Structure 1
Amino acid sequence: MVQESRPSDTLDPASPDPAHWPVGRLLSSAARRVERDWNAHLAAWDLNHASQAVLAHLLRAPMSQRELATASGVTEQTMSRVLARMERSGYVTRAPHDDDRRRHVITITDEGRSAFFVASDRELAETMVTRGLTPEQAEQLRRLLVVVAGEPGTVSDPDDPDGSDRSAG
């Protein structure tokens, strides 16, 4: 009897061939490639993936540096560097908080809003990530990544992307 080879039988994280890498290495490598490509695109506006995310948060409302750091999943020190660069670019302003002079409120400027919308071309971003995939494969990738990116401990159904069928409990 011939035994079929399963992917787990041929996984080799040291292999030069991505077809033999574990899923974690594949996902990490793909994420780094997409981040490099996206950062190269955003550089035309003196943005990167981190500063673009900050602008997205600030489109909803002004926030403190601590709130932005928490929302972005980075330290306050890292956020401080991101904000300093964005302030030099004219994309955000910092002003003392009305009630607490130790805190600053970060607000997006008109230039920041404009740069965000021009640089955030959804079609271009989707093309960068899904190049080489059929539309069906791209949709399948999206559904799988929603599951993988979900909060730890939550159940996500890829056929129910908005979670409307999820029952509590």
Structure 2
Amino acid sequence: MQEDSGPARALDPASPDPAQWPVGRLLSAASRRVERDWNAHLANWDLNHASLPVLAHLQRGPMSQRELAAACGVTEQTTSRVLARMERTGYVTRSPHPDDRRRHVIAITDAGRQAFIVSADRDLAENLVTRDLTAEQAEQLRRLLAVVALPDPARRTTD
């Protein structure tokens, strides 16, 4: 019987060295680090990783809470909590839907639009993730993450 000496055998999920961790743990740890750094940046405007996409979607125009939740890929309950905070900061308004009083229309305010513009700096966001990578490595990471992020594994390619 031949002993397997492939890379999976050498990985140690309990190791303090991230190079020894399985890919899932690496991705999770990287994601948490980036989220902490990004949230620290966004806190300057009383925003976080959950509220910024709300402002991004509302740039296109008012939406119902249900539409906003679907666009952000979260539940209406989560959206409701995010919107409550954003309403208190003056970044969004909630008003009754003109045709259905049970629904609300969410709109971005001028303050919300300004906070989005200054907080969503793409270069800063990219640098939070790729600060120690070469341009080539950063592009390779982008391509690989795009593949991993696809919901349908049958569509995955690395070309």
Secondary structure of residue in 2 paired with 1:61: coil
Equivalenced residues, count:
157
Q: Which residue of 2 aligns with 1:113?
A: 113
Kept in 2, the 8 Å contact 1:7–1:20? The answer is no
Unaligned runs of 5+ in 1: 160-169
Matched to 2:105, the amino acid is V
CA–CA distance in 2 between the matches of 1:68 and 1:55? 10
Q: CA deviation at 1:4?
A: 9.5
- Higher RCO, Cα 8 Å, sep 6+: 2
Q: CA deviation at 1:33?
A: 0.3
Unaligned runs of 5+ in 2: none
CA–CA distance in 2 between the matches of 1:98 and 1:128? 42
Q: CA RMSD in A?
A: 1.6
Matched to 2:9, the amino acid is D
Q: Which residue of 2 aligns with 1:129?
A: 129
CA–CA distance in 1 between the matches of 2:55 and 2:71? 12
CA–CA distance in 2 between the matches of 1:154 and 1:86? 38
CA–CA distance in 2 between the matches of 1:140 and 1:25? 19
Structure 2-normalised TM-score? 0.92
Confirm whether residue 43 of structure 1 aligns to residue 43 of structure 2.
yes
CA–CA distance in 2 between the matches of 1:62 and 1:95? 10
Structure 1-normalised TM-score? 0.87
Q: CA deviation at 1:96?
A: 0.6
Sequence identity, in percent?
Answer: 74
Distance change >3 Å, CA 59–CA 158, structure 1 → 2 = farther
Matched to 1:87, the amino acid is E
Kept in 2, the 8 Å contact 1:146–1:158? The answer is no
